[in-house]
Amino acid sequence: MLPEGEPAPPSGALPDSALRAVAATPFSLYVHVPFCRTRCGYCDFNTYTAGELGQAHDASQDTYLDAAIAELDLARRVLGDDVPLVSTVFVGGGTPTLLPSDDLGRLVTAICDRFGLAADAEITTESNPESITADGMKRLVDYGYTRISFGMQSAVPHVLTVLDRVHSPGRPQQAVAEAKAAGFHHVSLDLIYGTPGESLADWETTLEAAMAADPDHISAYSLIVEPGTRLANRVKRGELPMPDDDDLADKYLLADDQLGGRGFAAYEISNWAANIDARCRHNVAYWKGFNWWGIGPGAHSHIGGTRWWNVKHPARYAARISEGVSPAHAREILGDEDRRVERVLLELRLSDGLDRSILTGTERRRVPDLVSRGLAVVEDDRLVLTLPGRLLADGIARDLLD
């Protein structure tokens, strides 16, 4: 479900309050590729298999890139000449690497032609390990991609089966080696912990396999049982148990211990990097509240305190684009207090911590209690969660805010 919001203008025009922030704020692009070969039972992302799209020709993979490029044109018109060079691009999904490498290359060229890319631009694509070859990776590097993130999830066959992942164990590790040989500067693996039937030893096996592949970035997410998914239905029918909070906490601690032992540090609660350069700058841009335009069905955007989100279905998206109107479904213009609360929620998750000066007087008076309970420390006037604090981050943010 998309949030409600207020109507977004068909022209895509932004309020002056948003446009005023364009020139001085780093700018990123997200491009959503809403296609997957099969749907994993736990996933409720906005993605479609060929069967789910049926005969909707306008929504097909073949015509998708032209629609995405048309939205880039719209973005360029709306943002005007003051928009800075693009600092990060993230092509996510879905499964971006279901598109031919040449299409993914055409996308980078289109971005470069319309906006220009910063000399050190980070250009990431997500990929399912079975959806790309070594040769395809070389072509992506030639087209300018600097970073690739593979969905590995687990190294343990019975866990992959519960997750409906179709790659064979071992393929993600091989894909990391191919990506490094192809010349990607940064390679990341996504892992999931807490899958029903996964033991602590299984999770340790996965962490060891991921580390042995030698990526420079790992994202590890606790399995969320999203309502309406096949996984949720199986849990509801009692076929599978709900992930257990204590088990999830043990697995988080194990991850931090194992990854920390290999020199990886968590720079955000679910993201570990081998060094500062290996941090995903695109995600950091989200967490710091910079500007980004999200291209594609269901994609979210944020420019200077105005947030909007596109229509969800690829056929509706394609129809809007072919009519020459903005694909935005609705938007919201955040007030100063909304933006402050958002900063608290996001910055508290970062290892750099939260700037204490943005807290109200009442909120600041709650900090000593967090510190005395060992949940946070104050460093250079920033509030930084400790490891036990990271396990309780959402509750801490709720308790801290007025």
Ligand X SMILES: C[S@@+](CC[C@H](N)C(=O)[O-])C[C@H]1O[C@@H](n2cnc3c(N)ncnc32)[C@H](O)[C@@H]1O
Q: List interacting residues with ligand X (CB under 6 A).
A: 42-43, 45, 92-93, 95, 126, 128, 151, 153, 190, 192, 221, 223-224, 226
Q: What are 273's strand-pairing partners?
A: 217, 265
C-beta closer to ligand X: residue 175 or 375:
175
**C-alpha separations of 243 from 49, 53, 251, 325 in Å:** 27, 32, 11, 43
CB of 97 within 8 A of CB of 128? yes
Q: Which position's Cβ is nearest ligand SF4?
A: 43
Gap between the Cα atoms of 159 and 157, Å rounded: 5
Beta strands at 382-385 and 376-379: parallel, antiparallel or unpaired? antiparallel
∠ Cα 80 96 117 (to 5°): 35
- For ligand X, give the closer residue by CB, 193 or 293: 193
Per partner kind, with CB cut-offs from 5 to 8 A, the member of ligand SF4, ligand X, none near residue 39 is: ligand SF4
**Shortest distance, position 105 Cβ to ligand SF4, whole Å:** 22
Compute the least distance from the CB of residue 141 to ligand SF4, in Å.
Answer: 22
Task: Choose between 151 and 215: whose C-beta lies nearer to ligand SF4.
Answer: 151
CB 306 within 8 A of CB 332: yes
Nearer to ligand SF4 (CB atom), residue 160 or residue 334: 160
Among 83, 164, 172, residue whose Cα is nearest residue 127: 172
Binding positions for ligand SF4, rule: CB under 6 A: 36, 39-40, 43, 45, 47, 93-95, 128, 151
Q: CA 212: distance to chain centroid?
A: 24
By the 8 A CB rule, do 292 and 40 touch?
Answer: no
Given ligand X, ligand SF4, none, residue 190, with its beta carbon under 5 to 8 Å by kind, binds ligand X
> Closer CB to ligand X, residue 126 or residue 256?
126
Quote the least distance from Cβ 54 to ligand X, whole Å.
Answer: 21
CB nearer ligand X, residue 188 or residue 258: 188
Residues in the chain: 402
CB of 86 to ligand SF4, least distance (A): 24
Minimum CB distance to ligand SF4, residue 193 (Å): 15
Nearest to 149 by CA among 195, 98, 95: 95
Q: Minimum distance from CB of 126 to ligand X (Å)?
A: 4
